[in-house]
């Protein structure tokens, strides 16, 4: 099995950010030049890149899954928005609503004049029904996963129900000194990491499945419009967070970015 550490995790994330920048440039160029023949290709590329990133995370996470839940290679601002190591899948649906609404407001005069651009401002009633149904299903799955995450945390700390070794509360109570390391502690932390890695993989799958279903509902142009907005938001939050951490002297972000 390959050996990974935080430098590998950080490199994986930085490569992902670079990929997002490259993809965004392509998406914006296609939208600005009305390259309709590229929309389907760019939609499929966006899905494929997320699949590849999820696969890399799934390979690395078992080595230190806790780091992927609040990654030190992300800013404090970014980490404040994380849900099981990433954004909530339902956020993709809410982003469609938000972008569509803002675009409709911006082009309302043209729209009333009969001008049609085919972007997210022009989602049909049928599409909206499908998107709303997806939103409801996704929220239900998020709730199940949040409950599962809470159970993993409680079981590791307090009970023997899902781990073979002593819970952390017993290990801490019986330790000769506060913070003492032991083989029992090592086993408990490894078991916890494996459980976290499993739920991270499932959360990434839910994120990917939601994205795929959303892409299938939207037209190719709407899909490209959505992907451009999503990537622009992701990159912007990363840059805003880095700036804020530097402003407040966060040593983690200063050392790794």
Quick: pLDDT tens for 47-79.
Answer: 999 999 999 999 999 888 889 998 988 999 999
Q: Is the pLDDT of residue 14 over 50?
A: yes
Asked if pLDDT for residue 35 goes beyond 90, the answer is: no
pLDDT reported for residue 255: 45
Phi and psi at 20, nearest 5°, equal -60, -40
**43 inside domain:** yes
**pLDDT tens profile 109-165:** 565 655 567 789 899 999 999 999 999 999 999 999 999 988 877 666 555 454 445
Write the pLDDT tens digit of every residue in 154-213: 666 555 454 445 666 676 667 667 766 667 767 777 777 888 999 999 999 999 999 999
Which DSSP state fits 120?
A: G
Q: Is residue 213 part of a domain?
A: yes
Tell me how far apart the alpha carbons of residues 121 and 118 are, in angstroms, rounded to a whole number: 7
Instruction: Please check whether residue 51 lies inside any domain of the structure.
Output: yes
Query: Is residue 1 assigned to a domain?
Result: no
Q: Which domain holds residue 166?
A: 6-256
How many domains does one find in the chain?
Answer: 1
Do the domain assignments include residue 216? Answer: yes
pTM: 0.84
* 212 lies in some domain: yes
């Amino acid at each position: 099995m390959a050996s990974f550490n935080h430098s590998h995790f950080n490199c994986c994330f930085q490569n992902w950010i670079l990929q997002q920048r490259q993809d965004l440039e392509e998406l914006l160029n296609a939208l600005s030049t009305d390259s309709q023949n590229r929309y389907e290709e760019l939609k499929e590329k966006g899905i494929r890149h997320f699949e590849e990133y999820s696969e890399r995370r799934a390979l690395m996470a078992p080595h230190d899954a806790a780091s992927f839940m609040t990654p030190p290679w992300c800013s404090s601002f970014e980490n404040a928005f994380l849900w099981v190591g990433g954004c909530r899948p339902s956020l993709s649906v809410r982003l469609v609503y938000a972008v569509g609404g803002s675009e409709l407001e911006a082009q309302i005069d043209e729209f009333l004049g009969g001008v049609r651009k085919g972007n997210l401002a022009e989602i049909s009633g049928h599409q909206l029904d499908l998107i709303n149904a997806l939103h409801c299903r996704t929220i239900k799955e998020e709730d199940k996963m949040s409950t599962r995450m809470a159970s993993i945390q409680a079981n590791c700390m307090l009970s023997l129900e899902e781990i073979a070794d002593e819970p952390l509360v017993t290990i801490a109570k019986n330790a000769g000194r506060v913070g003492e390391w032991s083989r029992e502690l090592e086993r408990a932390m490894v078991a916890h990491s494996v459980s976290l890695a499993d739920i991270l993989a499932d959360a990434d799958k839910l994120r990917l499945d939601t994205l795929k279903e959303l892409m299938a509902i939207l037209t190719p142009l709407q899909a490209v419009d959505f992907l451009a907005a999503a990537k622009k938001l992701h990159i912007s939050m990363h840059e805003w967070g880095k700036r804020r951490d530097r402003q407040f002297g966060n040593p983690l972000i200063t050392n790794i970015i």
